[in-house]
Amino acid sequence: MLFKVEMDVRVPLDYDPARFEALKAAEKARFQELQRAGTWRHIWRVVGQYSNVSIFDVESNAQLHDLLTGLPLYPFMEVKVTALCRHPSSLHDDDR
């Protein structure tokens, strides 16, 4: 199942910078693990914002929920999820 996930990262101005750097490093490691597994298929930075647009390929809504809420930066994120399905004109058979 494919989902578009929009993540806006909102960090309080007074949050400890060292703790935030540690969270960012943990987020990057988790992202790369999920990317290698094919679960986090794509990510793009939204120009001019601390935001990204991502494509996830998961088995269920529950899997996506657990994955998103387990991200190190999740406590600082606003998340919007949109379910996707294959477009009939797509050339990509794995767009399911």
Ligand X SMILES: O=C(O)CC1=CCC(=O)O1
Q: Which residues bind ligand X (CB under 6 A)?
A: 7, 9, 27-28, 31, 52, 73
Task: Work out how close the CB of 22 gets to ligand X at its nearest, in angstroms, rounded to a whole number.
Answer: 13
Residues whose CB falls within 8 Å of the CB of residue 81, separated by 6 or more in sequence, listed in order = 3, 4, 5, 6, 64, 68
Task: Work out how close the CB of 87 gets to ligand X at its nearest, in angstroms, rounded to a whole number.
Answer: 26
- Measured CA to CA, the distance from residue 6 to residue 92 in angstroms comes to 23
Nearer to ligand X, 21 or 90 (CB): 21
Nearer to ligand X, 42 or 96 (CB): 42
Q: Are 43 and 54 in contact (CB under 8 A)?
A: yes
